[in-house]
Amino acid sequence: MKFKKLADGTYIPALGLGTWGIGGSSRPDRSQDGRLVAAIQTALQLGYTHIDTAEMYGGGHTEELVGQAIRDFDRQDLLLVSKVWPSHLSYDRLLASCQASLDRLGVDYLDIYLIHWPNESIPLEETFRALNRLVSDGRALHIGVSNFNPEQLRRACQLAETPLATNQVPYSLFERSYVRNGVLDYCQQNNILLTAYTPIEKGRVARNSLIKQIAGRYAATPVQIALSWLLQQTAVIAIPMSTNPQHLHENLEAASLQLSNEDMQRLDQLA
């Protein structure tokens, strides 16, 4: 497993488990709870320790499932990330949202707590007053943002009393908008991790002739190549979602795959 360093010197796993869609989308779906809890536990047994979730996922039910899955694992061995929904970014509502996430997860603190999306109708100063309070209270060890553009990210850095851990954005071989707008460069220059969500577009990756060609040389899958390309970049981590044991194992193995500089450059040209 690769690890990447936060600005305060903390190392976190470069590959995490995304949970969007587990237990429902925006509303709870309890029809497969047993299977999904078992899938998260399988991921933990394989060696995943970084789990990403959000209060919006499954209307909070995803956090409940994660909480059930981690119950028998040592909390100190886990890195838990959750996110607050943009309508909850006022001071009191954010504090209440964080506590509700902690209660659903069954833990006393989050390793990283993120603003899920910016909300221009609520002053960012108020939001960060609450986030800073969570850090001082010990309910969040680190704070960060998601889906922030460069201007929003710079403002967040000014308001945070501790270094921002990450900006979580869509990033993959075929999605480079946060490279083009300067977010990746800003993160790399300011010791902020860029967390790539939706890091693999399985059908598109599997059909691409260049990716398949490179995968063949490494005896790897196209998905593993797509993940390795991300994880080899400075200050980039990824959170693919899967509940398939074989895919969970393959994704984890991608963190140990080392692509040549030539192949990295060839993949850079895809988008």
Which residues are catalytic, by number?
Answer: 57
Dmax over CA atoms of the chain, in Å, equals 54
Burial of 151 (0-12, 13-18, 19+ CB in 10 A): exposed
144's enclosing H/E stretch is: strand 140-146
Burial class, 33, CB count within 10 angstroms (exposed 0-12 / middle 13-18 / buried 19+): middle
Report the helix count and the strand count for the chain, using DSSP H and E. Answer: 12, 10
The tokens of 247 are what? 């895919």
Beta pairing partners, 172: 175
Spell out the alpha helix ranges (H) of 16-143: 33-46, 61-70, 91-105, 124-137
The pair of three-digit structure tokens given for residue 129, joined into one six-digit string: 């007053």
Copy the structure tokens of residue 103.
């209660």
Asked whether 30 and 38 are in contact (CB, 8 A), the reply is no
> Helix (H, G, I), strand (E, B), or coil: what is residue 215?
helix
31 DSSP 8-state letter: T
